[in-house]
Amino acid sequence: MRTALAEGIRVQAYCSMAFGCPFEGETDPNVVLEIAEAYAEGGAHVIGLADTLGHATPEQTRALVEQALKKTEPYQAEISLHMHDTKGRAQANCYEGLQLGVRQFDAAVGGCGGCNFAPGAEGNLSTQGLLAVLNHAEMEHGVDELGLQSAHEFLENKLGRTLRSCSADGWSSQQ
C-alpha cells in the first residue's frame, strides 16, 4: 500500500469475510472495524466491506457501515460494498449502504463470479440488480442498460447457461 501511495496510485483495500466466515463462523464486527481503521490510517482511499458468503442481513449491513463510516471519517476514506447474493439479500444490503452515503458498489454482469476460497459463496450481486436499487433510489448512474442487456445475453451464450438478471421485480427497500 505504501508503494502505491508513493506512486500516486489510488488504493482500495477490502475487509473480506466482514459478515461471516465459512471456517470460523460469525465475524466480530470490532475486528472488521479495526482492520478498516488501519487501512484508512495507512492511507487507503476506499475500504470495501465484503459479504463474501452472501449471508449478511440489511440490519447487519446498516450497523457495520454506520460504524465503519465513523471509524474512517477522520481519514477521509470512503466505504464501498461488495455483496454476494447467496441468500437473495444483496440488493437490500446495497440499498442500506446507499441510504448511509455509500456510493461505490461492486457488481458483475449476470452475477458472475463467486469466491473459490469460500465454500458455499454463490455469485456476486448482478449489475442489473444494483441498477434496480439505484433506479429505485432515483440515483443517476450513467449505465447503458441496453448495452448491459446485450453483454448479459452475450455471456449467457458464451457460458451456455442462464445468468442472474435481478431487477426490481420481487425486491423492495422494505425487505
Using 50, 70 and 90 to split pLDDT, how confident is the model at 111?
Answer: confident
Q: What share of the chain in percent tops pLDDT 90?
A: 77
Average pLDDT score over residue span 108-115: 83
Q: What is the pLDDT of residue 175?
A: 47
What is the tens place of the pLDDT at every residue in 11-60? 999 999 999 998 899 999 999 999 999 999 999 999 999 999 999 999 99
C-alpha angle 16-102-109 in degrees, rounded to nearest 5: 65
d(CA 49, CA 78): 11
Q: In this model, does residue 117 exceed pLDDT 90?
A: no
Residue 94 appears among annotated catalytic residues: no
Q: Which three three-digit cell numbers place residue 1? A: 500500500
Angstrom distance (rounded) from CA 53 to CA 17: 7
Backbone φ and ψ for 133, nearest 5 degrees, come out as: -65, -50
Given the residues 15, 94, 115, 166, select the one marked as catalytic. Answer: 115
Cα distances (angstroms) measured from residue 87 to each of 6, 92, 95, 140: 40, 11, 15, 27
pLDDT tens-place string over residues 50-86: 999 999 999 999 999 999 999 999 999 999 999 999 8
Instruction: Judge contact between 107 and 124, C-beta under 8 A.
Output: yes
Would you state the pLDDT for residue 119?
74
Confidence band for 5, pLDDT divided at 50, 70 and 90? very high
Average pLDDT across the chain, whole number:
91
Whether 154 shows a pLDDT value over 80: the answer reads yes
